[in-house]
Amino acid sequence: MFITIDARTQFRNFQPPPAAYYTAHVRQIIMNILDAVGNTSLVRLRKVVPLGGAAIFAKLEWENPTGSVKDRMARSVIARAEADGRLRPRDTVVEYTGGSTGASLGLVCAAKGYRLRIVTSDAFSFTRWARLPLCVPSPPC
């Protein structure tokens, strides 16, 4: 399905929010999607430790671009393969997956210009396969 938006009609009456909105709601502007990987918030957990105990923080990994901690792994794997010379421009990355690893690799490969071939079992449902929109244009054959 394709959705076409005519910017001339859709945004004719658009009024940007006041500057104070951006100060309160935008942590930072990221110019490259891969810079958003791992750049997630920390939240101090105050009610899970006894009074006077250690400070414990939780990392909000769902803030990664695909919503998964596997974004970190995918970025690291591709960066290591590039550094080792095992991955060069115009190469294709092949991965057996049925879930979030494929979406994370799809994000990284798309951002870096690599082709990605996903191999999966027919045991995975179509709905699970459809969760890979970054790298898979159609269901498996």
Q: What is the CATH number of the domain that holds 85?
A: 3.40.50.1100
Whether residue 124 lies inside any domain: the answer is yes
Q: Is residue 24 part of a domain?
A: no
Domain assignment present for residue 79? The answer is yes
Reported pTM: 0.66
- Which residue numbers in the chain have pLDDT < 50? 1-12, 134-141
Number of domains present in the structure of the chain? 1
Gap between the terminal Cα atoms of the chain: 19
Average confidence score pLDDT of the chain: 76
pLDDT of residue 10: 43
Q: What is the DSSP string of the chain?
A: ------HHHHTTT--PPPHHHHHHH-----SSGGGGTT---EEEE-TTS-TT---EEEE-GGGSTTSSTHHHHHHHHHHHHHHTTSS-TT-EEEEE-SSHHHHHHHHHHHHHT-EEEEE--TTS-HHHHTT-TTT-SS---
Judged on CB neighbours under 10 Å (0-12, 13-18, 19+), 135 is buried
Predicted local confidence at residue 11, as pLDDT? 44
The whole-number pLDDT of residue 21 equals 53
Q: Which domain holds residue 88?
A: 71-129
Does residue 77 fall inside a structural domain? yes
Q: What integer pLDDT is reported at residue 17 of this predicted model?
A: 56
